[in-house]
Amino acid sequence: DGLVRRLDPHAATDAGAWDELLPQVRFLHAIATRCLEPLRKKRTEVIDLVADFETLRQHAEQVKPPVLDEFCCPLSMELMVEPVSTADGQTYERASIEAWLKHSDLSPLTMAVLEHKFL
């Protein structure tokens, strides 16, 4: 009973905060509310939720979170999976900077001579 009251957007508790959240969160809230319906004849069965969850899954697959520039390698412009730092303190994807350092002693960003090639 307490959980249902907390999830109820019309109750006098903090549950009204749900209204300001992302549509996906509101969607999940609606599903939870249907599942917690106290009257058995109105309570949603799991089989009735399959289509709702499939819609939510498809939407989640289409949404790609933004990647901050700090997490992208300045050489490859891709998300760094194995970030390493050079002598000048710059961070790169390991494979990209290793390929660069095979042919150059310079920092790719500043073009200054690197003190060493250790990563």
Which is more confident, 22 or 50?
50
3-state secondary structure of 66: coil
For residue 110, what pLDDT is reported? 92
Q: Evaluate if pTM is beyond 0.85.
A: no
Q: What percent of the chain has pLDDT over 90?
A: 41
- Where do the structural domains in the chain lie, given as residue ranges? 2-62, 66-119
Q: Which residue has the tokens 């109820």?
A: 8
Question: What is the per-residue pLDDT across 56-112, written as a single tens digit (0 to 9) for each?
Answer: 888 777 777 777 888 999 999 999 999 999 999 999 999 999 999 999 999 999 999
Which is more confident, 39 or 50?
50
The mean pLDDT of 36-44, rounded to a whole number, is 68
Q: Quick check: 107 and 114 in contact, CB under 8 A?
A: yes
3-state secondary structure of 17: helix
Where helices occur in the chain by DSSP H, the ranges are 2-7, 23-35, 46-62, 94-101
Beta-bridge mates of residue 30: none
* CATH of the domain spanning 66-119: 3.30.40.10
